Amino acid sequence: MSRLVNDHGVNRFAFHPSATARNTILILSGYLLGTTVAHVCSPMLEGCTLAAGLIGMLAYAVLAVVARKKRVQNARLAIQRATVHIERRMDQHVQIASARLMLRLHAAQSWSHEQYMPVARSAGSIR
């Protein structure tokens, strides 16, 4: 996979299809509202043109809010994944370091006196 493609499979230099659709809705709505303001069409169609333009602007706003919420949710999810990944790696390193420390402490202790401790004493061995 090339470096130009992110995790979502979208080229970072091109628009995402939903962003392109939103921008198209905005452009067409602006055109319809401009046509209404300029009185280019007949008075009978002006009401329909104005309504279509306003509906388009409303649709653009709703889609923009939904897209922003989705981006925020994706960013939070990415941060959460990265946090879990880092925590797991830190736990792994801490466990390895603590295990090494325990082995060093265990090796450094003098265990020779425990090897030769009598388990049972006979009556003649008491001084």
Q: Please name the amino acid found at residue 54.
A: L
Burial of 67 (0-12, 13-18, 19+ CB in 10 A): middle
Is residue 5 helix, strand or coil? strand
What is the pLDDT, as a whole number, of residue 113?
A: 56
Q: Which of 70, 74, 3, 59 is nearest to 27 (CA)?
A: 59
- Tally of structural domains, the chain: 1
* Amino acid identity for residue 55 in this structure: I
pLDDT truncated to tens, each residue of the chain (127 aa)? 344 444 554 455 555 777 788 888 999 999 999 988 888 888 888 989 999 999 999 999 999 999 899 999 999 999 999 999 998 888 877 777 777 777 777 776 665 555 555 566 666 655 5
- Taking the whole predicted model, whether its pTM rises above 0.85 is answered as no
Residues 93-125: tens digit of each pLDDT: 777 777 777 777 777 666 555 555 556 666 665
98 in a structural domain: yes
3-state helix, strand, coil in the chain (%, to 5): 75, 0, 25
Structural domain that includes position 66:
17-107
